[in-house]
Each structure stands twice: as C-alpha cells, then as structure tokens.
C-alpha cells in the first residue's frame, strides 16, 4: 500500500505531530465500529441469554457458557490466523494465506481486501477494483471477527444439552480454521464464488447456511440427548429468552447495516428491509401456529423472527421493500413446514438431535434467502454493493443468477458436511464428543459445579440431596465446595 498522506489541518488532532490520514472517513469508521459492536452484542449477551433461557434449567449454565467460550476462542484464533485466511492474500481459489493481524503497521493502515480486484470475464481488464473502505484495518478485523464468532455460537444451538465441553473447546478453533475461513474467502474475501458473482450480502451462506448444516452434521456425530430430555425440554425462563431474542433482532441492524462497509444509502435500505422481513416472518409463523395448533407460541414467534432475519440477510441491501415482505412470508412458512411437518415424517431429521432446530431456522432459511435473492436482486441496487457489474435477479432478466445462488449454496453445504465430519472424528480421537450419561442426568452441577438458579433461601432446612454441600448450621465441611459462588 502506498505511503499514507496526512492532513495536518484536521479539525481534531489529539497529537499535532502525527496527524490524520487523508483516507479516513470518521463517519464510516464510527458506523463500522458501532455495527461491529451491535453484532457482538447479538452474541454477548444476546445469544448467551437466549441459550441460557430457552433450554431446560439443568442446562442453562452449560448452554450459556458454550456461547461465551466460543466468542472468546474465536477472537484469539481470528487475530492469530483466521482473518488473513478469510480476507487476506489468495492462497487457493477458496482460501487465503494464514497470517496474524497483531502489528500496528497492519492495523493502522487503510482497510483493504487484497483478493477482491475483479477482472472482466477473467480478462486483464479491471471491472471493479479492490475493496478499500475509508477506515483502518483494525475496524475491518473487528467487524469480521464478530461475524465469525456468531457463526460458531449459532452452530452450538444444535449441540446444547449433551456435548462434552472439552470437545467443544477443541471443535471451535478447528471448525473456524477449516470451514468458516473457506466460506468467508470464497464468497466475501475474493475467492472463486466472489468472482463468479454469487451474492451473499451479509452472511446468508457464509454464516447461516454453514452454521445450520454444520450444526446438524455435528449433532449427528455427537449423538442425542437423554430420551427424557428430548421428550420434554421446556425453557427455564421465557421472559429472558425474549430478552435475548430482542437483542438479536435489534443487533441485526449492525449485522446487515454494516456490510456495505460504509455509512451509505445502501446501509439504510438494508436495515429497513431487515426489519420488514423479520416482522412479516414472525407474524406468518404465529398465524400458522394459531391455525394448526390453536395457540400462539412465544417460542414459535422467536423462531419466525429468526428465520425472517436469516432469510433477508443474503439480499438485505439488494431487494425492494415488497420483495422483503415476500421473503418474510416465505421464511415464516417454509421453515415452519420443514420443522412442524417434514421433520416429523423424516427418519433422518428425527434421528439427529438438533436441539434448537438450527437446521430449520438457519440452514433452510439461509438457503431460501440466497435463492430468493437470486430472484429479487434489483439492478439499481446491485451496483451499490456487488463487484460484478450488471448483476440482477432472475425477475429482472438474469436467470443465471438464480443458478449461481444454488451452486454457491451446494458448495457451502458440501464443504460443511465433509469438514465438520472430519473435525468431529479428529476431536473424538482426543476426548469423547458426548458427555457420559451420569453427567447428562444431572446437568450443570455435574459439569461445571454451578447452577443457574439458587432455589432455596438462607433459612430453608438443609437437604443434601438438593443443595449438594452443607447448610449454614453444618460445621462438618467434609466435602469441598463446588463452584465459584460457594468459595466466595
């Protein structure tokens, strides 16, 4: 990158001897960091709260901690090697060269995705230049990291209530390295699908389709929950579940609004379409629950909200408002059908214990969003975002775009089935993928020595079968305390 020029007459200059680079747009930088933080809040605390509340009480701590661990583990892997493999120099048509992003020389330089220069039909003529947002690489690394983190956390939704936590600790860095980086580079970072013209505005394929397919695949290898947990798995706190879901919905403004890499007009359209589709999908799902089950389900409404958010993600800034409504109607009905009807009639779907139905809410909805984007992408909106000029959906004259979307989805599906299976088999050589049955019967207290809720008071008569240590009046402390709160 060329030597940076500095504007010494900037209105704000905390250190006059350093100056402000000419390429810096403070508005874009501010929005990108806000958008990244909104996406981060979707995970911590959003999905931490949602997961900890939507599961059975005995799995609240474990489920929330799986999300929290993944968020932390992805951060370290991302800055050590993951970012460059996803958005750095091309190593293979589907993979970038590994490298760290820890030096200030890299982080303070202007953001740029070096493999994204697009040549017209593979010729030497540049059709669209390298993506170079008007803020530092540090903002780009931050923004893309929270996307990678939420993908692993969404995947975890398929595995709640039985995966060995030690196996999860190994699974996260391996899957990030050999699966997520492939999809990210292929579609976003300048890989072969990016240059072919596959559209994924904000992660319908890279994040949702991959997490849904990988979660379902990993659930197959890990094995099911205990039979009694599969038969009855009520949420331990519906109101907190709604709190987590609300954070997820509001955080999607950063999820889709930040992907133009600028605070521009396309960002505004993306945010509006996101809310239109999510609201439509929620209402359709709720209406279907009322029609067929005679009761509006709160959990169903949350699932409908999520499928709407997922479906609009591949085309959020590329479709018109009426198309967002149509996509919402489809995302509120088709995943509902696969979950409530097809699932009950499919031996494979019933055999695999996908705890939160991530296959339906993310894989099915993500594929649906990518396919409908191939239909509805508007020719006036596509140039605001896409590197391949004259891109448009099948409804506007390019039937090949729909085919590209399907082929792109098939690549993501195939890669995730194979690589997730290999990762699970490798992890299984080190530690068991599934907890032993005695831990599954007890839950959080057996796995972590902690419980989500203390359901007894200071003056309550001590019951060793419930409390597990000693009462306030017990002076014989023969058993060591379990959990931080007891030690305190």
pLDDT for res 460 = 52
Domain assignment present for 270: yes
pLDDT digits (tens, 9 = 90+) for 151-175: 999 999 999 999 999 999 999 999 9
Instruction: Pick the more confident residue, 195 or 456.
Output: 195
Domain assignment present for 122: no
Q: Say if residue 180's pLDDT is above 70.
A: yes
Q: Say if residue 239's pLDDT is above 70.
A: yes
Residues 442, 333, single domain; the answer is: no
Residues 372, 278, single domain; the answer is: yes
Q: Say if residue 408's pLDDT is above 60.
A: yes
Q: Which domain holds residue 458?
A: 437-487
pTM of this prediction? 0.89
Domain assignment present for 335: yes
Domain assignment present for 273: yes
pLDDT digits (tens, 9 = 90+) for 356-407: 999 999 999 999 999 999 999 999 999 999 999 999 999 999 999 999 999 9
Averaged pLDDT, 225-233: 92
- When pLDDT is cut at 50, 70 and 90, the band that residue 13 belongs to is low
Residues 168, 135, single domain; the answer is: yes
Q: Say if residue 9's pLDDT is above 50.
A: no
Residues 266, 166, single domain; the answer is: yes
| CATH, residue 355 | 1.10.3430.10
pLDDT digits (tens, 9 = 90+) for 460-478: 555 555 545 444 444 444 4
pLDDT for res 470 = 43
Question: Can you tell me which residue has the tokens 């930040």?
Answer: 258
Query: pLDDT averaged over the chain?
Result: 90
Domain assignment present for 4: no
Among 2-6, 197-201, 348-352, which stretch is predicted with the lowest mean pLDDT?
Answer: 2-6
Averaged pLDDT, 68-79: 98
Domain assignment present for 20: no
Domain assignment present for 53: yes
Residues 45, 177, single domain; the answer is: yes
**What's the domain count of the chain?**
2
């Amino acid at each position: 990158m060329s030597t940076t020029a500095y504007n010494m007459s900037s209105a704000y200059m905390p250190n006059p001897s350093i100056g402000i680079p000419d390429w810096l747009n403070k508005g874009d930088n501010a929005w990108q960091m806000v958008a990244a933080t909104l996406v981060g809040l979707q995970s911590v605390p959003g999905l931490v709260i949602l997961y900890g509340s939507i599961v059975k009480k005995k799995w609240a701590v474990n489920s929330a901690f799986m999300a929290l661990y993944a968020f932390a583990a992805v951060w370290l892997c991302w800055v050590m090697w993951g970012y460059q493999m996803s958005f750095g120099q091309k190593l293979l048509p589907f993979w970038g060269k590994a490298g760290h992003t820890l030096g200030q020389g890299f982080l303070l330089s202007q953001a740029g995705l070096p493999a994204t220069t697009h040549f017209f039909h593979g010729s030497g003529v540049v059709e669209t230049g390298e993506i170079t947002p008007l803020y530092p690489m540090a903002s780009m690394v931050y923004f893309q990291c929270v996307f990678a983190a939420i993908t692993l956390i969404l995947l975890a939704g398929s595995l709640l209530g039985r995966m060995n936590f030690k196996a999860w600790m190994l699974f996260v860095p391996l899957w990030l390295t050999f699966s997520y980086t492939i999809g990210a580079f292929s579609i976003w970072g300048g890989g072969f699908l990016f240059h072919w013209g596959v559209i994924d505005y904000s992660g319908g394929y890279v994040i949702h389709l991959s997490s849904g397919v990988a979660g379902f695949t990993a659930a197959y290898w890990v094995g099911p929950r205990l039979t009694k947990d599969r038969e009855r798995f009520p949420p331990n706190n519906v109101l907190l579940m709604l709190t987590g879901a609300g954070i997820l919905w509001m955080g999607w403004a950063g999820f889709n609004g930040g992907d133009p890499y600028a605070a521009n007009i396309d960002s505004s359209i993306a945010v509006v379409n996101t809310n239109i589709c999510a609201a439509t999908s929620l209402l359709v799902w709720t209406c279907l629950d009322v029609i067929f089950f005679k009761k509006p389900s709160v959990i169903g409404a949350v699932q409908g909200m999520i499928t709407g958010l997922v479906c609009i993600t591949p085309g959020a800034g590329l479709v018109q408002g009426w198309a967002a409504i149509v996509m919402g109607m489809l995302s509120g009905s088709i995943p509902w059908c696969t979950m409530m009807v097809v699932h009950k009639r499919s031996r494979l779907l019933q055999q695999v214990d996908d705890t939160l139905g991530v296959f339906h809410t993310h894989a099915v909805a993500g594929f649906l969003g990518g396919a409908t984007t191939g239909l509805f992408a508007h020719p006036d909106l596509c140039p605001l975002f896409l590197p391949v000029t004259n891109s448009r959906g099948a409804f506007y004259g390019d039937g090949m775009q729909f085919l590209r979307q399907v082929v792109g989805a098939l690549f993501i599906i195939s890669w995730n089935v194979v690589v997730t299976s290999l990762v699970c088999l490798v992890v299984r050589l080190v530690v068991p993928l599934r907890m032993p049955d005695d831990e599954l019967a007890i839950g959080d207290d057996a796995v972590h020595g902690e419980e989500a809720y203390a359901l007894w008071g200071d003056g309550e008569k001590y019951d060793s079968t419930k409390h597990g240590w000693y009462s306030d009046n017990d002076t014989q402390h023969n058993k060591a305390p379990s959990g931080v709160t007891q030690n305190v």
